[in-house]
Structure 1
């Protein structure tokens, strides 16, 4: 239990990244349409995000500075500005999608329109970010997100053909839906597992917790416990959708459809737990994305930042945070479908991924910041291979979106 509490930053980062509103949609759609044929995407995402999160955590622990704080210094203001603009815009769109996810979870619980809940969700996120201590925030919402384990329990309760499910995980098949749609879903699922804000939040969180070189073991435990847990939860979503929907090839489009198999397997208690899980993971992701947008801007411009700092002393940091929340509310109040917004967000996220991950690899090899704690040969090999996957996803995202009409 002590190790789990020590790893709650990683759990919150991973739960917010692997099973936010983007993955609730992408993972469930992948299972419904293609069965377990995208398992390899989640496995690749877990390995890759673990590698880059470890680099980001090591940078924070050894240098005492967050990743984005070093990007401008290492790559120069122009390159870093491009990185900032791209990541900030995507993060704000993601924040809007997560607020929409919170509102949809509340709609599922109350049957009151999600538009009623959007401003209240934004207000609640702002209050938590303003008043709740960082460690308490990560523990509450990181551990609450584990309620999504109800999908793993439901998988056991459902009439699951385990040999067939396992066999499907080793096969890559378009399942009659066409390869362009298969690869579009693969790119969306991949982008949902390696969202740009994850590593910025994780690195900045390490600085918030005042990690030092003596905390490297703690940073790695956050990575090696938190992110695989997030991957397992996402895989559970895929598996449940595979069992419940894949035989009929139905495409999912609402959170109600995502939760329905849990209600079938576990009744009202299961449904209530699923709704709680949806609320927890989307609210946690909204906290992450809100902070990440403010972290990136403040670190680029050299402003005072952090939840530990009083709002009066970090006024610009908190102003950017508030602006991001307000923009998210404005986007949603146009009545855009939050699920559709999520699909656009995933495409945009895939496009800008190289701008996020390449600078991390560069800084993690700079002895001026890390001394003898720079990447070793095998970490660089893993980072380079994963970067190639990121570039491939980035290049393919828009053509696949056009070819498939933005998916199912």
Structure 2
């Protein structure tokens, strides 16, 4: 039972990384516009985040230190500062979007405008981050996020044309009528969503919070190879539901309400209640994850005490960064900017920042001074280097595709 509960760190990271407010809409919008023709990107992203999350978790378990801390020590403050600037900006934008996602989920349940819920949601998130133990937090919200499995149930109930969806996913179906630039933009966005920098920072810092050691390497790998693929399966189910309901009608998706509609059509009011719970838990968990990641990266760069296992008075600067980040996120949302738009922008900048995050992790994972006999093997390095090439391609293409397509609108 203890081993099963330990997997919730991976579940929380996976749901927060794959199925946050942006992904809920992005996967649904992609399914509505392209069917399952971009499903391969989700698969590629799942494999990539598994490769690098396993490295970062192994670094934390063997060295007892989070990966960002070692990046600064191994590559110097200048390289780490560039990493910090890029990752913090992306994390802050994502945090704002997740707070908005929590408010949007409550709006679905209450019909009260989401902006009225934004300050309340942020306050509750802060209280949880301030008072709730790390293990309790990850287990409650990681497991509650599993309510999103309702998308899988809804897909089965919708009885879609499985052969057609399979043909689209395998590239055997005809084009959807969308331009190649739009196809490329959504491909980069989905890939960046799977490999957002804060995921590895949260995962390795969470391993330190849970006091992983070499004997916990099996737990670490179980978290990676169960949690992240689970997030990928849920993403594919969301995409397939949209491909079944919206694509035949030519309807585009741009709101969280539309994303949940296939579940309501398939399973009625009960299904709608469950999916709203899942959206709330996933976005709340992602807000916790990004809020902590904002504090983790800055505290680790400057060498401050950090972590939820440390008394707030002893890690005051860490908690101050978390609080300030939450307030900045609320301020951004109160400008009335759309939370979904914020997330889509964050995904573009995430793609640009990916090389700064993953190259240093690959370097540290091959350093025997930190990992001894647990450095990367040949297979891990083959995958690591291969994915760096893909990451560089996504980073170069992200902004031009955003400009050409007008954020995927054309």
Q: 2:266, 2:297 → 1: CA distance? A: 43
Matches within 5 A, 1:252-401: 252-401=253-402
Q: Does 1:170 align with 2:158?
A: no
Please report the TM-score for the alignment, with normalisation by the length of structure 1: 0.99
**2:62 corresponds to:** 62
**Deviation of residue 369 (structure 1)?**
0.3
Q: 2:343, 2:73 → 1: CA distance? A: 33
1:39-69 deviation digits (Å, cap 9, x = unpaired): 1101111111001010000000000000011
Q: 1:17, 1:48 → 2: CA distance? A: 13
Q: Which consecutive residues of structure 1, in runs of 5 or more, have no partner in the other structure?
A: none
**Deviation of residue 219 (structure 1)?**
0.4
1:243-267 deviation digits (Å, cap 9, x = unpaired): 0111123210111100111101100
Q: 2:230, 2:220 → 1: CA distance? A: 15
1:61-105 deviation digits (Å, cap 9, x = unpaired): 000000011011001011111111111111011100110111111
Q: 2:8, 2:159 → 1: CA distance? A: 33
Q: 2:230, 2:3 → 1: CA distance? A: 13
Matches within 5 A, 1:14-163: 14-163=14-163
Q: Which consecutive residues of structure 2, in runs of 5 or more, have no partner in the other structure?
A: none
Q: 2:343, 2:108 → 1: CA distance? A: 18
Q: Does 1:233 align with 2:230?
A: no
**1:188 corresponds to:** 189
Q: 1:402, 1:169 → 2: CA distance? A: 27
Check whether the contact 1:201–1:291 (CA below 8 A) recurs between aligned residues. yes
**Deviation of residue 12 (structure 1)?**
0.4
Q: 2:141, 2:20 → 1: CA distance? A: 12
Q: 1:53, 1:34 → 2: CA distance? A: 29
1:269-300 deviation digits (Å, cap 9, x = unpaired): 00111111110100000000000010000000
**Number of residue pairs matched?**
408
Q: 1:100, 1:233 → 2: CA distance? A: 21
Q: 2:228, 2:157 → 1: CA distance? A: 26
**2:12 corresponds to:** 12
Q: 1:359, 1:250 → 2: CA distance? A: 42
Please report the TM-score for the alignment, with normalisation by the length of structure 2: 0.98
1:145-204 deviation digits (Å, cap 9, x = unpaired): 110000000001113111111121101765101110011011111111111100000000
Q: 2:66, 2:326 → 1: CA distance? A: 22
Q: 1:5, 1:28 → 2: CA distance? A: 30
Q: Which moved more, 1:247-256 or 1:114-123?
A: 247-256
Check whether the contact 1:26–1:192 (CA below 8 A) recurs between aligned residues. no
- Aligned CA RMSD, in angstroms, stands at 1.0
1:198-224 deviation digits (Å, cap 9, x = unpaired): 000000000000000111111001101
Q: Which moved more, 1:240-249 or 1:58-67?
A: 240-249
Runs of 4+ aligned structure 1 residues displaced above 3 Å come to: 1-4
Check whether the contact 1:36–1:169 (CA below 8 A) recurs between aligned residues. yes
